Structure 1
Amino acid sequence: MPKKPADKPFLTDIKTLRKRAREHIEQGAVTAGYTADRTVVIRLLNEALATEIVCVLRYKRHFFMASGITAQGVAQEFLQHANEEQAHADQIAQRIVQLGGAPNFSPDGMLTRSHAEYAEGDSLLDMIREDLVAERIAIDSYREMVAYLGSNDPTTRRMLEGILAMEEEHADDLVTLLEELA
């Protein structure tokens, strides 16, 4: 009588797991079970890295340039977002290395790799709007990356989902600031 799917073992047998773990050990965390196209994933992550770096720089500029009677609280929000975007960049760079790639921190081409733009804004409201536009771009970019990865790279997907959640929170913060200042 053939085995029913419910009788199929959940895990690969231990001997096979151990044998596969010894093959290509120089690839570290990337095992034979990794099914995503690493070249594409590393390219996408380097684009995300550039996006985060551009966002850090824009938020830092906005932090230092914020002026006016209502600027202090907004400036602190800009600084908090800059620090969180830097943490995202660090996570992404680490994941690129785990996948056997090299994070691209070169300033050459940073703006062409970045999905977001570096828009300075002339007033506090302009700065908030530009940051909100950048967050909305990041949200859509990360959403598409998450969908692309699916179950082929769950570690990268989960990392990007966490970053996506933070970008959505940033967008909510910025909308609230716009409402308060308008």
Structure 2
Amino acid sequence: MNAVIDTKPMQLDEQALERARTHLDDGAVTPSYGPWREEVIKLLNDALATELVCILRYKRHYFTAHGIASPSVADEFLEHANEESAHADKLAERIVQLGGEPDFNPDSLTKRSHADYNDATDLKSMVRSNLVAERVAVEAYRQMIQMIGDKDPTTRRILEEVLAQEEEHADELLDMLKD
């Protein structure tokens, strides 16, 4: 099999570097970010809504969990809530870096969230609803990463980090259901 060898010298695009010297008020967002930046901001705001709804669900479950196994499960809910809060912070920070505004509007959170809020009262239903939400988040992040591709490596890296932790959450919740 004959491989095609690229013999072009590796050089930076000097014109793109020159364009980066302008519009300093845009911060890290250079003209090469392209027209898809607004779409990425919308995706990130929807992901932010998902994280915020997950925080609220986990906090409710933390405070209302009861039963023989509840202390350890409740502690796990609190840990997950705190980790979801860190995800929300990362997403909001990236939205601002891209020149957008993070949408924390409580009136539209559940409409924009990929995951549902659930006010289950028994421990098994709590764990199950959180597992469903984590699986939905995993799928949403996977799709976002695929859509963003190489267009925005920084956003992709953030989403990959969040995805890895959401997968851990799903595994932990599944283990709780099996016990």
TM-score w.r.t. the length of structure 1 is 0.92
Q: Quick one: distance in 2 between partners of 1:71 and 1:5?
A: 61
Unmatched runs of 5 consecutive residues or more in structure 2: none
SS at match of 1:8: coil
- Residue deviations 1:49-94 (CA, integer Å, cap 9, x gap): 0000000000000000111111110000000000000000000000
CA separation of 1:18 and 1:43: change in aligned 2, threshold 3 A: closer
Question: What amino acid does structure 2 have at the position aligned with 1:154?
Answer: P
Q: Quick one: distance in 2 between partners of 1:111 and 1:45?
A: 15
- Residue deviations 1:123-142 (CA, integer Å, cap 9, x gap): 00000000000000000000
Corresponding residue of 2:65: 66
Unmatched runs of 5 consecutive residues or more in structure 1: none
Q: Quick one: distance in 1 between partners of 2:122 and 2:177?
A: 12
Report 1:16-165 matches (<5 A): 16=15, 18-35=17-34, 37-165=36-164
SS at match of 1:33: helix
CA separation of 1:66 and 1:96: change in aligned 2, threshold 3 A: same
Q: Quick one: distance in 2 between partners of 1:170 and 1:41?
A: 25
SS at match of 2:145: helix
- Residue deviations 1:103-160 (CA, integer Å, cap 9, x gap): 0001011100101000111200000000000000000000000000000011101100
Identity of aligned residues (%): 54
Q: Superposition RMSD on alpha carbons, in Å?
A: 1.4
2:49 counterpart of 1:9: no
CA separation of 1:91 and 1:36: change in aligned 2, threshold 3 A: farther
Instruction: Give the Å deviation of 1:17.
Output: 5.7
CA contact (8 A) 1:54 1:118 kept: yes
After TM superposition, what 4+ stretches of structure 1 lie above 6 angstroms from structure 2? none
Q: Quick one: distance in 2 between partners of 1:10 and 1:174?
A: 49
Q: Quick one: distance in 2 between partners of 1:171 and 1:39?
A: 30
